[in-house]
């Protein structure tokens, strides 16, 4: 098991703020999960949290466990995307399953392109700042 690092207190507070901003990624992450197959809301929350915690919380110790996907940010995002025509839904018993529409797939591709280009720009900036490759 990889050793986790304890951040200095000032960096801990800064990273906590960054982690709390991650729920803004809920729509993009939900589209990513739904492009594979339909899922119900709780499954989207669970898989989204597992993925983000695996990657963002893997190397550092934090004072609190943070769920990035919560009912208060996931369900409104799903409903909004459904109204926008990015998702469609159907009921199976008591569970509402969501699936991505062709419009949602196009939106996902655009979001992915923007995020990848942003990451490339950040890597260039960090290379200049730190004088070394960061990715």
Find out whether 63 and 9 touch, Cβ atoms under 8 Å. Answer: no
Find out whether 78 and 100 touch, Cβ atoms under 8 Å. Answer: no
- Residue 6 tokens read as 């304890």
Nearest to 81 by CA among 64, 96, 59, 63: 96
The residues spanned by each domain of the chain are 5-100
End-to-end Cα spacing for the chain: 22
What does the alpha-carbon distance between residue 127 and residue 116 come to, in Å, rounded to a whole number? 16
pLDDT at res. 40: 97
- Residue 63 tokens read as 């004072």
Give residue-wise pLDDT tens across range 4-57: 667 677 777 776 776 666 667 899 999 999 999 999 999 999 999 888 777 766
pLDDT at res. 108: 96
Query: pTM of the entire structure?
Result: 0.78
Confidence of residue 3 (pLDDT cuts 50, 70, 90): low
Find out whether 122 and 114 touch, Cβ atoms under 8 Å. Answer: no
What does the alpha-carbon distance between residue 92 and residue 107 come to, in Å, rounded to a whole number? 26
Which fold is adopted by the domain 5-100? Arc Repressor Mutant, subunit A (1.10.10)
């Amino acid at each position: 098991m990889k050793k986790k690092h304890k951040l200095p207190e000032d960096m801990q507070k800064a990273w906590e703020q960054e982690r709390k901003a991650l729920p803004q990624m809920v729509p993009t992450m939900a589209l990513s999960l739904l492009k594979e197959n339909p899922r119900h809301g709780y499954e989207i929350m669970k898989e989204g949290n597992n993925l983000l915690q695996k990657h963002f919380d893997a190397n550092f110790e934090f004072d609190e466990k943070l769920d990035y996907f919560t009912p208060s940010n996931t369900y409104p995002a799903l409903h909004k995307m459904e109204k926008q025509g990015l998702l469609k839904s159907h009921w199976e018993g008591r569970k509402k399953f969501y699936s991505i529409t062709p419009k949602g797939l196009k939106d996902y591709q655009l979001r992915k392109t923007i995020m990848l280009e942003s990451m490339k720009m950040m890597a260039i900036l960090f290379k200049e700042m730190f004088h070394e490759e960061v990715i």
